[in-house]
Structure 1
Amino acid sequence: MEQPLLISALLQHAETYHGDSEIVSRTVEGPIHRYTYREAARRSRQLANALAGLGVAHGDTVGTLAWNGYRHYEIYFATSGSGAICHTVNPRLFAEQISYIINHGEDKVLMFDLSFLPVVEQIAAELTTVQHFVLLTDRAHMPRESTLDNLLCYEDLVNSHSDHYQWPVFDENTASSLCYTSGTTGNPKGVLYSHRSTVLHAFASSLPDSLDISAQGAIMPVVPMFHVNGWGLPYSCTMNGAKLVLPGPKMDGVNLYELIESEGVTMAAGVPTIWMMLLQHCQKNHLKIHSLKRVIVGGSAAPESMVDQLAEHGAELRQLWGMTELSPCGTTSTPKFKHNGCDTPTLRALQTKQGRPIYGVAIRIVDDEGKPLPNDGVAFGNLQVKGSWVLSRYFKRELDDAHTEDGWFNTGDVVTIDRDGYMKITDRTKDVIKSGGEWISSIELENILVGHPAVAEAAAIGVLHPKWDERPLMVVVLKPGATASREELLGFYEGKIAKWWTPDDVVFLDELPHTATGKLQKMKLREMFKDYQWA
């Protein structure tokens, strides 16, 4: 009963009891790579020996700039399993942010895919703690020239070491991995996870009411492994021995459809924009998705139209809400027994909520003075959480202004919670539109408009108004070849919301600004339209 919860034990279990289950990866070099948990465990032990040979000791940090692939998977387990810290860095950030994160994390070794060699060469001189640069490829694909001195080849490094390695046993509260928030304001903030929090998160996220992961599934994390540890899927899939399908750098509709069909993917996870691309590809080419049973959507709310479209392919959409600070899983929108037999509108309303807490997480809403509000589905307030995998303090920050005195973490979301515990985000604190002293949910305005057949993406922002303080402005991207007028889109709201919620105007753009993790950058839109003149 006293055995510590360690990440290495997940891989040992998969090797022993699911040794022939597959890990399939689309590589940066091009071909599909296949091997098993047994082979992954062997190579992870080789890599652990290689890291020791590079001077990586217990508590040191190993950084990655990599897509979802088998080599990245090996780094996850070799690094944390040996007692070092796996630091996944988002390569979609600006070069200055990447430099800051690597230096702040004190990465001793940096491992990166071929795609990111130019970025690393650009910032290498600024990386004060990195002692070794390792390119995640084989000898045949190593560059002939590089500005990086002594650039190491990953395959040479792994193959030059023995697979005889005893995973060390240590305190389960030891740091295992490090992720940084997007940093939309100020510098990104680090969130340090422990072996204990990671394994507990893997247990809870595997449950049927959560992500429902088992050895019968073929799971494809489209969410990048550099974003909150791929929502924990590399760990939970390993814990359960699920077939793991890693899409590499190609996350467009064409390549995702091909991989889902060829590998019999039963569950996939990613942000809404990914599934919009997949569904548009299927619609355009009259394709049917056959194996997919469940799609996990997180990062931002999924519109009801997406629920319906996936249902036509036989796939259930399940909302996941979480944050980097939550490892990330907090709630899922799984129905209860009482919902069996409910009509479609009732179920759709449930599916478009962010869901109820999985075991290990508690949620509550409070007003601006911190007074708890009722779970009646009507009152909305600031969401606070606490739990076994919720961060205690941001990495290297002594001042903790994110928690209340009694240990609740302030998420920054404005939500309602109903009597069954289902939470629905009405807005981010900074995104809510306040018109005439009343709040309007930008998320609801966006979800409705995305249901229009001509709309690919929509963002609602509050713009200063001489009479009402703020009024909602819709910023819209139309689907390729589609047309829609301002009047048509505003009329689409009729009967769906209170009249005073109806936006005052619509503007059209070719694309919307997104963060490196695919979220809408409302702050940039507000800056773009800060001087907007109402008609």
Structure 2
Amino acid sequence: MMKGNLLISSMIERAERFFPKKEVISRTSTGIQRFTYAEIGERTRKLASSLKEFGIEKGDKIATLAWNHHRHLELYFAIPSIGSVLHTINIRLSPEHIIYIINHAEDELIFVDEDVFPLIEAVHDKLRTVKAYIVMTDHELPSTNVPNVYSYEEWVQTGDKAFEFPKDIDETEEAGLCFTSATTGYPKGVIYTHRSTVLHSMGLAFTDTVGASESDTVMPVVPMFHVNAWGMPYVATWLGADQVMPGPRFTPKILAELIQDEKVTMTAGVPTIWLGLLKELEENSYRTDSLRAVVCGGSAAPLSMIKTFEQKYNVPFLHAYGMTETSPLATVSRLKSYQEDLPEEDRFNIRAKQGMLVPGLEMKVAGGQGEVRWDEEEMGELLLKGPWIADDYFKDDRGNETFIDGWLHTGDVCTVDEEGVIKIVDRTKDLIKSGGEWISSVDLENAIMSHEKVFEASVVAVPDAEWQERPVACVVLKDKAGNITKEELIEFLKPQFAKWWLPDDVIFMEEIPKTSVGKFLKRALRDKVKEHYESAY
């Protein structure tokens, strides 16, 4: 058999050749802009040639601080296609963490959106390796004291549209770098190779996973700085699907309008995004009949939310699971053919889980006595391996605690049913141990969020002298939902859980702290709960 070399440049080349008329619809600060793949390909080649002209070499790290738009998409291909490494930076990180990861990566250039540029202005004197800053804007360059600032559009205009992507790159060479969102300590970097990115994109195209297709109009709501927007821009470009980039500081209203106006068929994001969209759909009227899949990951989606999308809006909902270390796709929840005839409630209960392992990966679920039984009861930590699973952290010895004997120890506790379907019960650090028994904060959260008056809920443990730990629920009510008491909410939970699972208290809040990518931030929430009880005495 021929030895193929799996390179990211082959994806944009395929889009140019076979789908030159298909579109990238990009929302920027000045409105909607439209580009064909022929135009995106030409701009990408010009940008790549300008990078080479500047002196960028194979292996150099190039950072981006940007929203989801066409320029960021061009960087997704221009940087790795010349053998350099695309380093997407989470714009919501603290300045301390941004300084750390830029210096740790030893970034040579930073491509930055104009509205994010103040972040760079505040920290540029602490960045040790950066040689230049390229501002992405529809306007003139901002006035600044930062040295070596260039215009993105000028780099594109002066580049060579006939630039040929080099073919002397090996598929195992570095192509991308993402850092974890760091709930504790400094973020940890994960390197992606050309090979891992291409194989991960294949995984997204499988019919029994996400099933991305040329016929789709894909809108990645998950940020392009977060695990490469779950790989959606890569697979959409490769397959020639139209793409809708929602741009800077979008709102649920903007997302609903884009879905309606651009006839989006597939979109992806975390549960808090979809909770906000549902609220907008309930308050105003939009057409969503083009949607064939809402892909949800990052944390467990409430069963009630899945039901609302499917029963009220007739929008299929795909529950998925992954993490920065897994590129991220690891599991997708789809029914097997013979499960389609199950009662509706049983079908929903299966699809509310994280699903089955994507083909190409391996898994183990390790409990205290070895691998757990597939009985949906015994819990253990999920371990993964495969061609798009990381095997270490970037220049970081903390990998010794995570990558052991060829397996990624995810830190996620799960059960497996007899069909091989995984249900994430909790993070190892978030499980609540009460009287020697484990309580899943995730199960409690999803049950609470099924109440019609509840918008968001998160459950944390508080110390208890008798039981070691007890659960406390933190709840945000829907606007105009009216009041509900702690006692009413606990009464609502009683039929669903054993008595010792029920929260000892319910704290009503205006907002639950979230990570930079929209997940509940349990560490900050525990601090708020501690402050709540300290102030009460």
For the aligned pair, the TM-score class normalised by the smaller chain equals over 0.9
Partner-residue secondary structure (3-state), 1:451: coil
- Alignment partner, residue 168 of structure 1: 166
- Alignment partner, residue 305 of structure 1: 304
Partner-residue secondary structure (3-state), 1:382: strand
Q: CA deviation at 1:526?
A: 1.5
C-alpha separation in 1, matches of 2:12 and 2:501: 52
- Alignment partner, residue 480 of structure 2: 481
- Alignment partner, residue 417 of structure 1: 416
- Report matched runs for 1:170-209 at 5 Å: 170-209=169-208
Cα-to-partner distance string for 1:176-217 (whole Å, 9 max, x where unaligned): 000000111111000000000000000011111111100111
- Alignment partner, residue 496 of structure 1: 496
- Alignment partner, residue 118 of structure 2: 118
Long gaps (5+) in structure 2: none
- Report matched runs for 1:286-325 at 5 Å: 286-311=285-310, 312-325=312-325
Partner-residue secondary structure (3-state), 2:338: helix
C-alpha separation in 1, matches of 2:319 and 2:190: 23
Q: CA deviation at 1:398?
A: 4.6
Query: In the alignment, is the contact (CA less than 8 A) between 2:131 and 2:148 conserved in 1?
Result: no
Partner-residue secondary structure (3-state), 2:289: coil
Query: In the alignment, is the contact (CA less than 8 A) between 1:252 and 1:274 conserved in 2?
Result: no
Give 1:155's match in structure 2, choosing from 149, 153, 156: 153
Q: CA deviation at 1:13?
A: 0.7
C-alpha separation in 1, matches of 2:189 and 2:398: 14
Is residue 436 from structure 1 mapped to residue 435 from structure 2 by the alignment? yes
Partner-residue secondary structure (3-state), 2:109: strand
Deviates more, 1:393-402 or 1:514-523: 393-402
- Alignment partner, residue 526 of structure 1: 526
- Alignment partner, residue 20 of structure 1: 21
C-alpha separation in 2, matches of 1:261 and 1:508: 35
Query: Which AA in structure 2 matches 1:441?
Result: S
CA RMSD of aligned residues (A): 1.4
Percent of counterpart pairs with the same letter? 43
TM-score by length of 2: 0.97
Query: In the alignment, is the contact (CA less than 8 A) between 1:412 and 1:428 conserved in 2?
Result: yes
Q: CA deviation at 1:250?
A: 3.6
- Alignment partner, residue 281 of structure 2: 282
Cα-to-partner distance string for 1:328-379 (whole Å, 9 max, x where unaligned): 000000111111222110111011100001112112111246x222222221
Query: Which AA in structure 1 matches 2:241?
Result: A
Q: CA deviation at 1:151?
A: 1.4
Closer/same/farther in 2, CA of residues 486 and 101 from structure 1, 3 Å limit: same
Q: CA deviation at 1:397?
A: 2.4
C-alpha separation in 1, matches of 2:398 and 2:474: 38
C-alpha separation in 2, matches of 1:437 and 1:215: 52
Long gaps (5+) in structure 1: none
Cα-to-partner distance string for 1:131-186 (whole Å, 9 max, x where unaligned): 01000124x3322x212123101001110111111111121001000000011111
Cα-to-partner distance string for 1:18-55 (whole Å, 9 max, x where unaligned): 1111110101x221010111111111000001111221
Query: Which AA in structure 2 matches 1:10?
Result: M
- Alignment partner, residue 6 of structure 2: 5
- Alignment partner, residue 212 of structure 1: 211
- Alignment partner, residue 238 of structure 1: 237
Query: In the alignment, is the contact (CA less than 8 A) between 1:250 and 1:256 conserved in 2?
Result: no
Partner-residue secondary structure (3-state), 2:371: coil
Q: CA deviation at 1:405?
A: 4.6
- Alignment partner, residue 338 of structure 1: 338
Q: CA deviation at 1:527?
A: 2.2
State the number of aligned residues: 531
Query: In the alignment, is the contact (CA less than 8 A) between 1:7 and 1:198 conserved in 2?
Result: yes
Partner-residue secondary structure (3-state), 1:289: coil
Cα-to-partner distance string for 1:457-478 (whole Å, 9 max, x where unaligned): 1010111112111111000111
Query: Which AA in structure 2 matches 1:219?
Result: V
- Alignment partner, residue 361 of structure 2: 361
Cα-to-partner distance string for 1:247-290 (whole Å, 9 max, x where unaligned): 01143110001000010001110001111111101101244422
Query: In the alignment, is the contact (CA less than 8 A) between 1:7 and 1:80 conserved in 2?
Result: yes
C-alpha separation in 1, matches of 2:384 and 2:6: 23
Cα-to-partner distance string for 1:410-439 (whole Å, 9 max, x where unaligned): 000110011211100111000001110000
Query: Which AA in structure 2 matches 1:390?
Result: I
Deviates more, 1:432-441 or 1:354-363: 354-363
